[in-house]
Amino acid sequence: MLFQKLVAAACLGFELAALATPAQKKQDRKLKWFGINESGAEFGEKNFTGVYGREYIWYDAKTIDAFMAQGMNMFRLNFRAADTNGIAHQVMERLTPNSLAGPFDALYLGNLTEQINYITSRGGYAMVQPHNYGRFYGAVMTDTAGFQTWWHNVAAQYANNSLVVFDTNNEYHDMPQALVFALNQAAINGIRAAGALSQYITPEGNAWSGAWTWVSSGNGASLLALHDPSNKLIYQMHQYLDGDGSGTSPTCVSGTVLRERLQAATEWLTDNGKQGVIGEFAGGSNELCVAALKDGLAFLAENAGVWWGAVWWAAGPWWADYMFSMEPERGVAWVGVLPEIRGAFL
C-alpha cells in the first residue's frame, strides 16, 4: 500500500501542465472552495516581532503552484506566534507593532502582500487571517473600535482585489459571547468602510469556532445577527476528527465522524439561509480517517447550497513530519491523504 501511495503521489507531483486555470471554474467543482492553511508566518514562540528565517517563515511560491495543480483554489494565510503555553502572540502584533491602530511594519506587510498577489494573480483566493484567538499581546481584545480600525487599515490595502477573503480572527475562545459578536461586527464594519465591498468575510465563533458546537455553544444564536451591507458573510467553522475534536491525534472516531459533526451546523445554515466554510479540518493518514474525510467531503458537496468547502490544516516549509502536513511533496498528508480525497472536492 505504501508503495502504491508513493507512486500515486508521484503521479500527482507538480503537474503544472494540468494547471489550466488555478482556481478552476465554480461549475467544474464539487466544492466552491478547497484549499490549504499555509502556516509558518505565525511561528516564533515567545517572540512578538521575531526574525524572518529564524522565528518565522513565509511560503514558497512553488508549493502554491503545486497545490493549484491539484485543483486547490483557497489559501488561508496564517500569521501569528504562540508561546509554549498556547497563549497567542500574533501577527497582528507583527503587522502593527505596539497598538491596533498603529502603522504597519512595512517588511511584514510587503511579504503578506507578495503572497496575496501571487495567489490571486493565478486565480486563487487568498484568505487574510490573523491567527490571534481574539487576543492582542496575550490579552483578550476588548477595544472594538481599535479592532475596527485595524481591519479598516488592512482591508484598504486589498480593497480592489476581489479574490481576497477576510477572516476576522482565528478561533475566539473563553470570551463573553457578546464580545465575540462585537469584534466580528467591528471587523465587518471596518472592512466595508475601507471600500472593500466585493470581498467575502468569514466571521468565526467562540469555543474555537467548532462546527460540532456551533449551535450548543451559543454561536448560532448570537452571530446570526451579524450585518454585512455587502451580504457576503461566509461563516467559518473548524472541525477535527479525533475524540475531543482538538486535532491533536491522527486517530479518527469513525468513518462517518466528519459528516456527523457537521449535521447541526448544516441545519443551522439551512434554516437561517446562511452559508459556511470549514476553515480547518484534518485527519490522520490511515484507512479509517481517509474514509471519514471522503465521507465528510461528500456531505459538504451534497449540501453545497450552504457549504462553500473546506481548508486543510496544514502546510508550510517548517512542518517537517507533522502528522497532518500536506506540504509538497513529502508531507504525510500529501502522500497518503490528498491522492485519496482529491476526487471528493473536484
Q: Is residue 221 part of a domain?
A: yes
How many other C-beta atoms are found inside a 10 Å radius of the C-beta of residue 272?
Answer: 12
* Residue 16 included in any domain: no
Choose among 68, 35, 38: nearest CA to 309: 35
The sign of the CA dihedral 131, 136, 140, 141 is negative
- pLDDT above 70 covers a percentage of the chain that reads 81
Give 181's pLDDT tier (boundaries 50, 70, 90): very high
81: pLDDT strictly greater than 70: no
267 catalytic per annotation: no
User: Could you tell me if residue 144 is inside a domain?
Assistant: yes
Is 38 considered catalytic here?
Answer: no
- Number of domains the chain contains: 1
Is residue 26 included in any domain, yes or no? Answer: no
User: Is 192 inside any structural domain?
Assistant: yes
311 vs 137, higher pLDDT: 311
Q: What is the mean pLDDT of residues 40-60?
A: 54
Residue 334 makes CB contacts below 8 A (sequence gap 6+) with 9, 12, 315, 325, 326, 327, 328
pTM recorded for the entire structure: 0.87
In a domain, 283, yes or no: yes
- Measured CA to CA, the distance from residue 332 to residue 10 in angstroms comes to 13
Average pLDDT, the chain: 86
Closest by CA to 40, choosing from 25, 57, 26, 52, is 57
The CATH number for 288's domain is 3.20.20.80
Among candidate residues 38, 42, 93, 280, the one labeled active-site is: 280
Catalytic residue among 93, 171, 204, 327: 171
pLDDT band at 57 (very low <50, low <70, confident <90, very high): low
Beta strands in 146-257 (DSSP E): 164-167, 201-202, 235-240
Does some domain include residue 11?
Answer: no
314 preceded by a cis bond (ω within 30 of 0): yes
What residue numbers bound the domain in which 254 lies? 33-344
Q: What is the pLDDT of residue 117?
A: 95
Domain membership flag for residue 216: yes
